[in-house]
A and B are shown apart, each in its own frame.
Chain A
């Protein structure tokens, strides 16, 4: 395991030499690139990065320009994880055969995928990679929708969100299904480390990313990516909405070690009502009508129950 770079505070973090270039085509205010920068800047090691088809891939690798200052591969929508499994396995093979010298420091293998790829179409692939125990980090850029293609629902889309394929209307309050609990699912694969992060809480996120880099085996990071275009808030509100998400506990920040020990890593000083979080995003604006208002109450109940559950698990250490 290579020595982790030390990041004492934001000022020292800012001395990082960026490996993600501007003039990508992501929307102004996109949280994806904030997340990518935090992940890439958390290490000075050599990187091999893969990405699934989606906003990140499309906006950072349109010929003839690449925004990646490291080796990068995209194959398709489902298989960014498996692509990295292939790279990681080849690395092992070439080292065993002496075609990569043992002196060469081990690189970090990082895969990025949207929620569409992670929760839906690429789920089998990630499951296989985690079951086989490849040594890599998978970061899900979770904006709760198929953003790249105009905002269709995924199994990450939360109840009441209006998307183009689960639109709100006089006969529907939008998405009807619960958001899949991807973190628990990946923990159940026996991953040594899974965590939920949000880029606005950079210190919490970078600490977990570094722990992930330090962990041998498949690491899963679910990163909340507030999407200005599909959640429909102004581009300069990305951090503000992200703050509401973690302070309302809609996106609780926690980690699970070896599938057993759950640690809540952020406890808001003042817990914000879920109503405030939902109210900041026009994708939920139809809930603020007499017809659908009850959904907001159901939201609050659900978030409260889950927070209680997380605290209980943390307490009893299972």
Chain B
């Protein structure tokens, strides 16, 4: 699109208020291409960020993570990035800080924990709790 949609007058908009997810035509099966290989248009919600919904955020500890993918499947916001059966990290543009990933993480200590939004990853990892003993 030559012009950002917010600058368009009624005459330039797509009739019927229809929205395109991708730029131009696509000649591949979408389900065969990971999102980073697709050419999204500005009207895909992917282009937006809801990171400002958060006051707390999940921080991921790759040391304790076992790549079980619980966090991946139960994230309502497609914000747990998994590639090649491995957990890669949190997409902070799209994470709303609901904390479900933390609640379903099975490791001990958990590999995802919620921290204040302003906390840096280094500080958060430095504060990581120890493994909980039985009965704790």
Contact = CB atoms under 8 A, between A and B. Distances in A.
**A and B touch in their complex, CB below 8 angstroms:** yes
Contact of B69 (A14, A18, A45): A14
A63 B85 contact: no
Contact of A33 (B46, B67, B76): B76
- Per DSSP, are chain A's interface residues mostly helix, strand or loop, or mixed? loop
B43 A66 contact: yes
Chain A interface residue count: which class?
35 or more
Interface string B50-87: 10010000000000000111101111111100111100
Contact of A23 (B42, B46, B97, B100): B46
B131 interface: no
Interface residues of B, number: 52
A23 to B, nearest CB: 4
A277 B32 CA distance: 40
Contacts, number: 150
Given A23-B48, A38-B73, A65-B45, A17 B103 contact: no
Given A23-B50, A28-B97, A238-B100, A13 B45 contact: no
A244 B70 CA distance: 18
Contact of B38 (A29, A60, A67, A69): A69
Interface string A50-83: 0000000000110111111110000000000000
A28 B85 CA distance: 25
A96 interface: no
Contact of B29 (A44, A238, A240): A44
B69 A23 contact: no
Interface of B: 5-6, 17, 19, 21-22, 29-35, 38, 42-50, 53, 67-70, 72-79, 82-85, 91, 93-100, 102-104
Interface of A: 10-26, 28-34, 37-38, 43-46, 60-61, 63-70, 199-200, 202, 228, 234-240
Per CB-CB distance, the 10 closest pairs between chain A and chain B, nearest first, are A22-B94, A236-B99, A28-B98, A44-B31, A29-B98, A28-B96, A14-B82, A23-B48, A235-B98, A33-B76
28 contacts: A10-B68, A14-B72, A14-B82, A17-B33, A18-B78, A21-B45, A22-B50, A22-B77, A22-B95, A23-B47, A23-B50, A24-B77, A25-B50, A28-B76, A29-B76, A29-B100, A43-B31, A44-B31, A46-B29, A65-B19, A66-B45, A68-B21, A69-B22, A69-B30, A70-B21, A70-B30, A228-B98, A238-B76
